[in-house]
Amino acid sequence: MISDRQTKEREFRKEQIIKAALTVFKNNGIEKATMDEIAKEADFGKATLYYYFSSKEEIFIEILNRGWKMIWESIEPVIHDKDKPKDTFIDALNIIGSLVRNNQSLFEFLFTVPQKMPSSLNEDAHAWKGFQRRMYGVFQGLLEEGMAKKEFPQMRSDILMRAIGGLFHGLFFLGNERKPMSRQTMEEFITTFIGNYGTT
Amino acid sequence: MISDRQTKEREFRKEQIIKAALTVFKNNGIEKATMDEIAKEADFGKATLYYYFSSKEEIFIEILNRGWKMIWESIEPVIHDKDKPKDTFIDALNIIGSLVRNNQSLFEFLFTVPQKMPSSLNEDAHAWKGFQRRMYGVFQGLLEEGMAKKEFPQMRSDILMRAIGGLFHGLFFLGNERKPMSRQTMEEFITTFIGNYGTT
DNA sequence: TCATGTTTCGAATCTTAAGTCGAAAATTAA
DNA sequence: TTAATTTTCGACTTAAGATTCGAAACATGA
């Protein structure tokens, strides 16, 4: 008989483990994010982690799922405005920007770990993949509508997506400096790089 | 007494091993680029690899050193033209673009493996780090001179570097599609993103 | 308070891949 | 032809880190 409180405590402990995993990732990088380290950080025995998660991968997947869910739910409210695709696009980018600013290491995890790990993290079945796909779809859609309205340069939208994705990634995660990029700086870049068309 | 031919054959075999390593990297990704796989691909026994290289890392470092040397030697001839920084900048980018187009997987190795491996690959002492540093220095210098001449938007050059680095990376290495980016497409992007200022 | 279920953990096991060893095969040169 | 040198390699060792085991500690509710 599992009481309500028990369930909540279980959730809480899972939470702690996830936080510990992110801390270890932040301090040591993904390669050195071992179960031993996470256990130490979470102040649990290693075997206890396996009581809550069936594998290390499951911990990582949980992080990805929660993170991408958050991203999706943050942009979802603004993306339906199809009136001015470019403004909507920039709004959404700015929203993600502030999320990143707020928790740089989480997003570094979300955006870099799947690349670095060929494992099953990337399987389509995972929830986070769905959010990611939806997000890319929305952005690409906005790009295409924006192009139709001449608000963006006329290019193959998939390639433009890659370019903007890379640009965003570069701004936030390249270089040694891990200082957050201010909203102002980011806006400056967005308008400089993709803002010189149509409205604005 | 090591004859001249022997020396050459040794070099040749090292070459084969390096090629095999890159092939395995291309097919399996860096995680699965194991000495066993490389040996199989090179058609040598594993122990033989250690006769030619003292460690797996040494193989990787050799790849990085050769690759970055090539990059540097390819752009070096054009970067001294300080007359029109922006044109010079674009020339250099185009040169690197064609190198990448020519050997996508080598460059994927050069540009992604050091990030994925915290190991000693990244130590400043390695030759490739020197080439990389020099290259970044040159690009950033061109950016600064170009800004002074109003050929580029006025921004913090280090951040602009990150943005362009990310953009370039995104164009070539993001997404599933590993088709090479044509020179024309690339030029289109460069002019669209950083080309709308000053001359041109 | 006891029987049952839940949570914890150190120690043991399993797995993968790097690196080593010692002997054999091949090559060279006198 | 043969001794020395160079090259090759399968089998072994090691190391790190994920995962499992089994028993203990703890909590809960009759």
What is the full DSSP assignment across chain B? ---HHHHHHHHHHHHHHHHHHHHHHHHH-GGG--HHHHHHHHTS-HHHHHHH-SSHHHHHHHHHHHHHHHHHHHHTTTTT--SSHHHHHHHHHHHHHHHHHH-HHHHHHHHHHHHH--SGGG-TTSHHHHHHHHHHHHHHHHHHHHHHTTSS--S-HHHHHHHHHHHHHHHHHSSS--PPPPHHHHHHHHHHHH-SSS--
Reply yes or no on domain A61-194 having CATH 1.10.8. Answer: no
* Dist CA A110 CA A72 (whole Å): 13
Q: Where are the domains of chain A?
A: 1-53, 61-194
pLDDT tier at B62, thresholds 50, 70, 90: very high
Higher pLDDT, A174 or A192: A174
Q: Which pLDDT score is estimated for B199?
A: 45
Helices within A29-103 (DSSP H only): 35-42, 46-52, 56-75, 85-102
Write out chain B residues lying below 8 Å of A194, CB-based.
193
Give SS3 for A155.
coil
% of residues, chain A, pLDDT over 70 = 96
- Residues within 7 Å (Cβ) of strand C: A 1-2, 6, 9-10, 13, 43-48, 51-52; B 1, 3, 5-6, 32-36, 46-47, 50, 54-57
Q: Which pLDDT score is estimated for A2?
A: 66
In CATH, which of 3.30.1340, 1.10.10, 1.10.357, 1.20.144 is domain B60-194? Answer: 1.10.357
Average the pLDDT over A54-83 and give the result. Answer: 96
Tens-digit pLDDT profile for residues A41-61: 999 999 999 999 999 999 999
Q: Is the pLDDT confidence value at B200 over 60?
A: no
Nearest to A118 among B29, B170, B181 (CB): B29
**In this structure, what token pair is assigned to residue A191?**
């308008």
**In this structure, what token pair is assigned to residue B35?**
């000495």
- Give CA separation, A34 vs A22, A44, A164, A167, B32, in Å: 11, 14, 33, 31, 19
Most confident option among A31-45, A165-179, B150-164, B167-181: A31-45
Q: Which pLDDT score is estimated for A1?
A: 61
Q: Which pLDDT score is estimated for B195?
A: 63
ipTM of the prediction: 0.90
Q: Which pLDDT score is estimated for B79?
A: 94
Write out chain B residues lying below 8 Å of A116, CB-based.
115-116
Q: Which pLDDT score is estimated for A180?
A: 77
Reply yes or no on domain A1-53 having CATH 1.10.10.60. Answer: yes
Tens-digit pLDDT profile for residues B157-174: 998 899 999 999 998 888
Nucleotides of C under 7 A from a protein CB: 5-11, 16-22, 28-30
